[in-house]
Structure 1
C-alpha cells in the first residue's frame, strides 16, 4: 500500500511518531533536525486550517478557545496600541514586548499547547507565505488573531470568499 505523503517526504507514520516525540519535554532534545521539521509541518498545518476557517466562516463568530473573551480583554489591556493590520516582527519580539508577552503568557500556562510554535501573518490582508509569516507561541497567535477577528481585520478574506462563490459560473 502506498504511504500517504504529507509534506517534504513526511508520511502518516512519521507524523504519528512525531506526535509522540512532540509531546515529550523539550529538555530531551538538542537541535534535532527531524523534530524541528515536524514542528514546522505542524505549524504549517495549523496555519492552513486557520486560514481556511477565516475564509469560510465570519471571523467575528469564530471561537478559537474557551477563553477567547479573557484572552482578548487581557491582550488589549497589555497591548492597547499594537498595530494589528501589519505587524512589525521586531516590535512584537522587542525586549520590552517580550517582558509583556511573558507576563501575558504566564496567565495561560495551564492551557493546552499555549506555548507551541505557531505561524502568524505579518500583513493581515495576505495569506501565509514565507515572507508574510513569522513564528510566535500559540497564545500570542490566539491573542492577535482574536483581536484581528473581533476588530474586523480578517473580514476581507471571508467576504472575498463569499463574493467569489456568489459569482461562480460553471
Structure 2
C-alpha cells in the first residue's frame, strides 16, 4: 500500500475532503492520493470477493437486476470479457456511457465515484490490466461478468490454488 505521508493528520484531512461537494475541490495531491487509495482498496475487496465466493451467486448492490437490464439495453453487444479501452474512453463511447450513467444519479450512491476495472476479466488488477472508471460502469460490467459466467475463471483458479496449497500442506 502506498505511503500516505509522514503526517497522519494530512491523510485524514484528505480522506475527510472526499466527502465535500465537488465545487470545493482543488488540485491537491493528498486528495488525489486518497482517491487512489480508496480505489485500490475497493479493487482488493472486490477481487477477494470473486475469488472466495462463486461470482454467479454474488449481488453487488440492491439494484443489480436494474443495472444489468439497463446495461444490456444500452450496450447489447458490449464485449465484457476483454474490454478494449477505446470502448470506454473514446469520445463516442464517453457520450454513450454518460447517457447510461446519468440514469443512476440519485439511485446508486456515489454512482460517479472513481474505481478500478480489470480490462481482461481473467487477469488481476495491475497497471496493465486496470483502468479508472465510474462506480456505475464498474457495477454494470462486473454484474454482467458475474451473471454471464466470465468471472468464474478467477474463482475456479483461486479454488484450484487453495486446493493445491491444502494438498501440499497435508503431504
1:160 counterpart residue number: 157
Q: Is the partner of 2:143 in helix, strand or coil?
A: helix
Gapped runs of 5+ residues in structure 2?
none
1:60 counterpart residue number: 56
Gapped runs of 5+ residues in structure 1?
1-5
Query: 1:12, CA displacement in angstroms?
Result: 6.5
1:150 and 2:136 aligned? no
CA distance in 2, matches of 1:30, 1:18: 11
Count of residues in correspondence between the two structures:
165
2:130 counterpart residue number: 133
CA distance in 1, matches of 2:12, 2:57: 32
CA distance in 2, matches of 1:156, 1:77: 26
**RMSD value, Cα:** 1.6
1:33 counterpart residue number: 29
Q: Is the partner of 1:161 in helix, strand or coil?
A: helix
Q: TM-score, normalised by structure 2?
A: 0.90
Q: 1:66 to 1:160 in 2, by over 3 A?
A: same
Q: 1:14 to 1:64 in 2, by over 3 A?
A: farther
1:8 and 2:16 aligned? no
CA distance in 2, matches of 1:89, 1:123: 10
1:107 and 2:103 aligned? yes
